[in-house]
């Protein structure tokens, strides 16, 4: 005779109980495993088995499950749960004392009290979900708790709490009142805040998510002094003339067994660089400045010194046919402190909202005063079809090779993206940039037609998305080629209004200003380009070196042109300007030697043609005279 179905239901009915839930994970785990996967795993397991698990048992809790880079635990007493978390975080400070900053395991902990479902030893319910969200909100080495937890332990523990306000968390219907545990106690709150500026900054992140631009602006104005004091000190290598914090977005790792998939992480990095560059109070280092560090295993402090950056952004991306997983973190380069980190697990079509979220939260963590317009500018218009985006990323990767065959293939991919999504502005910009390279490198038999095509593509892109900085920059470049200097300057300045951190655009603006004779402005623009991108092309170096020469800064011109010649010995124009500068500086032997190199590289070198693009006749005459004096 069979068992009654009601008996089965009664037997299998899940148990409900009121518990304290503690969620724990490792801050920056993806970065650590990217550096040393096996060593990080061994280190983490050592902390969990010899320290964290025994602490949980000591405080009468139980580990429900391990989560790869953390764990979920349940306690019958909320006081014991918080006491355990405090012991863990204080103990980890001691355990990390001899560990290099970039290799430390630092936990984030979230604690909530709620009615949970216990089924087959696992726990479920909103109480668990809220604990997980609180953990994600906590700073590295920090603890965040819900209001219920704070009320239950008030006066029972030697810790103080800081109110972070009501927070709206993903997939949680009601706002959660969040409190941070100040581990040094109430009498040391000011010292704790100084040590961990991320606590204050983390509030900004939530405000951005909750209230948007208006809420953030109101909060920032009222708390400006606190925000400034919470921000880490500027690196000694930062240009003191720049009040804007310098940010380096390191190349995102593409976690794939297929090396050819690197283009996706590279493309995501470029898009975040571009989006962050639109915030007027940030200085974002250019792609060329950061990509040489791809795959290098250096400590944050070393990277910050070498790049001259105050903050570092790094991350990884893993994608499959149906999921896109992105990890990102923001660190203070001066001391290696992790300020913020997040993980995204979304459908591939949501990549654009992920980029926008990353951009806004990083800017929030740096306490940048955003306006509604700047926030809107930071969000690029996504294509209607994800395949078009993928094609654009592939096209950019090919174009970066700077070979004729790769350029042809890149143009084909950009055109396919346009065919798939005719309203995707970035595809038109990509195609225009590919044609621009073919013009510059002489890969076209129809230069005028090529320039006309570039102009058409840039204009179309602007019509589709007037906030696309690349489209305005491209139009400015092609107008510069047509010697429409004033119109080119207007477009390039507009592009920089949209993205004040684009090194390439500053470089093109420097050239346009050089040709018009506005030497001081040309030098300022080109020096900015060089500061944002220390690996500036020899063409942009020539612009700045020639502006130095015409402005009477001969020693600076010699210094820069000598660097350019050393980097690319075949750069005829760099040799020519160097010869002119030597001549002007009264160094005839150096001038003659360099002039001989010019004649060897280009037997038909024409001094009159060399200066023909300068609008100011005095500038044309000055450089022609110096070249003749050098023996050309």
Cβ-proximal residues to 541 (8 Å cutoff; 6+ apart), any chain = 530, 560, 561, 563, 564, 567, 574
DSSP string, 24-89: EEETTHHHHHHH-HHHHHHHHHHHIIIIIHHHHHHTTEEEEEE-SSEEEEEES-HHHHHHHHHHHH
Q: Report pLDDT for 569.
A: 84
Contact 235, 309 (CB under 8 A): yes
Q: Give the residue carrying structure tokens 């470029």.
A: 270
Do the bridges between strand 160-167 and strand 70-75 make them parallel or antiparallel, or are there none, so unpaired?
unpaired
Specify which residues 107 forms β-bridges with: 26
Specify which residues 114 forms β-bridges with: 19
Q: Report pLDDT for 244.
A: 66
Q: Report pLDDT for 456.
A: 94
Element (H, E) at 377: helix 372-378
**Residue 2 DSSP label:** P
The torsion angles phi and psi of 375, rounded to 5 degrees, stand at -65, -40
Q: What is the SS3 assignment for 427?
A: helix
Contact 215, 207 (CB under 8 A): yes
What distance in Å separates the CA atoms of residue 48 and residue 32, rounded to the nearest whole number?
Answer: 16
pTM confidence score: 0.52
What distance in Å separates the CA atoms of residue 24 and residue 408, rounded to the nearest whole number?
Answer: 50
What distance in Å separates the CA atoms of residue 518 and residue 514, rounded to the nearest whole number?
Answer: 6
Residue 452: C-alpha distances to residues 431, 482, 493 (Å): 13, 10, 22
Q: Report pLDDT for 101.
A: 67
Do the bridges between strand 143-146 and strand 176-182 make them parallel or antiparallel, or are there none, so unpaired?
antiparallel
Q: Report pLDDT for 618.
A: 92
Burial class (CB in 10 A: 0-12, 13-18, 19+), 75: buried
What distance in Å separates the CA atoms of residue 26 and residue 41, rounded to the nearest whole number?
Answer: 11
List the one residue out of 340, 248, 344 whose CA is nearest residue 301: 248
What distance in Å separates the CA atoms of residue 147 and residue 217, rounded to the nearest whole number?
Answer: 26
Residue 86: C-alpha distances to residues 83, 93, 107, 375 (Å): 5, 11, 11, 38
What distance in Å separates the CA atoms of residue 597 and residue 594, rounded to the nearest whole number?
Answer: 5
Contact 200, 340 (CB under 8 A): no
Residue 349: C-alpha distances to residues 275, 323, 387 (Å): 18, 9, 10
247 token code pair:
């940010």
Specify which residues 607 forms β-bridges with: none
Q: How many CB atoms lie within 10 A of CB 217?
A: 17
What distance in Å separates the CA atoms of residue 511 and residue 489, rounded to the nearest whole number?
Answer: 9
Residue 553: C-alpha distances to residues 262, 370, 548, 598 (Å): 43, 39, 5, 22
Q: Report pLDDT for 343.
A: 79
Helices of type H across 568-616: 572-584, 588-601, 607-610
List the one residue out of 553, 571, 388, 543 whose CA is nearest residue 477: 543
What distance in Å separates the CA atoms of residue 339 and residue 198, rounded to the nearest whole number?
Answer: 5
The residue length of the chain stands at 632
Q: Give the residue carrying structure tokens 């570039």.
A: 454
Element (H, E) at 315: strand 311-319
Q: What is the SS3 assignment for 314?
A: strand
26 token code pair:
């490792």
Sign of torsion, CA 173 177 183 188? positive
Set out the domains of the chain in order of their start, with CATH numbers: 13-185 (3.30.70.1230), 246-375 (3.40.50.10070), 537-632 (1.25.40.10)
List the one residue out of 623, 609, 602 whose CA is nearest residue 557: 623
425 token code pair:
């502005």
Q: Report pLDDT for 380.
A: 61
What is the mean pLDDT of each successive set of 10 residues along the chain, which is 632 residues long?
39 67 86 76 88 91 84 91 94 85 85 82 80 86 91 83 78 82 54 34 33 30 32 34 70 73 79 76 80 79 84 83 80 79 75 68 48 52 75 86 88 93 92 92 87 93 89 92 90 88 89 93 91 80 93 93 87 92 93 91 83 88 92 88
Q: What is the SS3 assignment for 600?
A: helix
Cα-Cα end-to-end distance for the chain? 110
């Amino acid at each position: 005779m069979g068992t009654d179905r009601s008996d089965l239901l009664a037997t299998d009915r899940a148990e409900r109980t009121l518990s304290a839930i503690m969620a724990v994970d490792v801050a920056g785990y993806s970065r650590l495993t990217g550096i040393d996967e096996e060593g990080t795993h061994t280190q983490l397991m050592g902390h969990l088995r010899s320290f964290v698990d025994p602490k949980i048992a000591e405080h009468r809790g139980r580990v429900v499950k391990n989560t790869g880079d953390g764990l979920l635990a349940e306690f019958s007493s909320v006081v014991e749960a918080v006491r355990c978390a405090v012991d863990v975080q204080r103990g980890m400070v001691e355990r990390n004392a001899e560990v290099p900053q970039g290799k430390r395991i630092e936990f984030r902990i979230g604690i909530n009290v709620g009615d949970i479902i216990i089924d087959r030893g696992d726990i479920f319910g909103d109480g668990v979900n809220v604990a997980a969200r609180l953990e994600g909100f906590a700073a590295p080495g920090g603890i965040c708790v819900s209001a219920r937890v704070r009320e239950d332990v008030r006066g029972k523990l030697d810790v103080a709490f800081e109110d972070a306000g009501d927070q709206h968390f993903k997939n949680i219907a009601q706002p959660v009142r969040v409190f941070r545990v100040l581990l040094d106690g109430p009498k040391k709150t000011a010292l704790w805040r100084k040590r961990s500026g991320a606590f204050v900054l983390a509030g900004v992140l939530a405000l951005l998510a909750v209230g948007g631009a208006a809420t953030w602006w109101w909060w920032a104005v009222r708390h400006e002094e606190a925000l400034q004091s919470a921000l880490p000190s500027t690196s000694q290598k930062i240009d003191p003339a720049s009040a804007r914090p310098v940010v380096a977005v390191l190349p995102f790792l593409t976690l794939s067994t297929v090396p050819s998939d690197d283009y996706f992480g590279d493309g995501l990095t470029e898009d975040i660089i571009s989006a962050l560059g639109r915030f007027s109070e940030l200085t974002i280092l250019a792609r060329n400045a950061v990509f040489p560090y791809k795959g290098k295993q250096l400590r944050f402090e070393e990277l910050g010194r070498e790049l001259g950056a105050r903050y570092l952004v790094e991350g990884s991306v893993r994608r499959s046919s149906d999921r896109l997983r992105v990890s990102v973190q923001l660190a203070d380069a001066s001391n290696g402190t992790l300020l913020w980190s997040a993980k995204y697990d979304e459908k591939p079509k949501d990549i654009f909202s992920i980029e926008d979220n990353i951009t806004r939260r990083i800017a929030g963590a740096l306490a940048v005063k955003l306006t509604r317009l700047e926030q809107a500018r930071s969000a690029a218009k996504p294509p209607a079809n994800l395949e078009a985006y993928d094609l654009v990323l592939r096209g950019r990767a090919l174009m970066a090779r700077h070979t004729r065959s790769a350029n042809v293939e890149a143009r084909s991919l950009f055109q396919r993206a346009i065919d798939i999504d005719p309203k995707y502005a970035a595809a038109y910009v990509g195609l225009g940039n590919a044609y621009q390279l073919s013009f510059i490198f002489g890969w076209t038999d129809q230069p005028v037609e090529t320039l006309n095509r570039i102009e058409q593509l840039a204009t179309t892109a602007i019509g589709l998305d007037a906030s696309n900085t690349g489209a305005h920059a491209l139009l400015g470049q092609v107008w510069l080629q047509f010697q429409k200097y004033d119109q080119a300057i207007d477009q390039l300045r507009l592009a920089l209004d949209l993205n004040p951190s684009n090194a390439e655009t500053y470089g093109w603006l420097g050239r346009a200003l050089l040709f018009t004779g506005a030497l001081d402005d040309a030098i300022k623009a080109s020096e900015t380009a060089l500061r944002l991108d220390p690996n500036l092309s020899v063409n942009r170096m020539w612009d700045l070196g020639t502006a130095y020469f015409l402005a009477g800064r001969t020693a600076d011109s010699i210094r820069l042109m000598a660097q350019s010649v050393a980097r690319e010995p075949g750069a005829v124009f760099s040799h020519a300007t160097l010869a002119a500068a030597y001549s002007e500086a009264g160094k005839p032997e150096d001038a003659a030697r360099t002039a001989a190199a010019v004649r060897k590289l280009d037997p038909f070198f024409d001094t009159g043609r060399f200066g023909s693009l300068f609008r100011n006749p005095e500038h044309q005459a000055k450089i022609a005279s110096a070249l003749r004096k050098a023996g050309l």
